[in-house]
Amino acid sequence: MNPFRWSFRAQFLLGFVICAGLLGYALYLEHVQGLIPCPLCTFQRGAFALLALVFLLGGLHSPKAAGGRGFYGILGLAAAGLGIGIAGRHVWLQGLPPDKVPACGPDLAYMMEAFPLGDVLRQVLTGSGECAKVDWAFLGLSMPGWALVWFVLLALWALLAAFKRRKSRYY
Amino acid at 108: L
At 98-129, the pLDDT tens digits run: 777 666 666 667 777 777 877 777 776 666 66
Output the CATH code of domain 3-102+131-163. 1.20.1550.10
Query: Over the chain, what is the mean pLDDT?
Result: 85
- By C-alpha distance, which of 166, 153, 155 is closest to 63? 166
> For 133-143, how does the pLDDT look when each residue is reduced to its tens digit (9 = 90+)?
778 778 989 99
Reported as a single tens digit per residue, the pLDDT across 53-112 is 999 999 999 888 888 899 999 999 999 999 999 999 888 888 877 777 666 666 667 777
Please give the Cα distance from 134 to 131 (Å, whole number). Answer: 8
CB-side neighbour CA atoms (13 Å) of 124: 24
Question: What are the residues facing 137 on neighbouring strands?
Answer: 142
- Tell me the mean pLDDT in the region 11-17: 96
What is d(CA 144, CA 7) in angstroms, rounded to the nearest whole number?
Answer: 31
Contacts of 18 (CB under 8 A, 6+ apart): 150, 154
pLDDT at 3 over 80: no
pTM: 0.82
Confidence (pLDDT) at 171:
34
Q: What is the Cα gyration radius of the chain?
A: 18
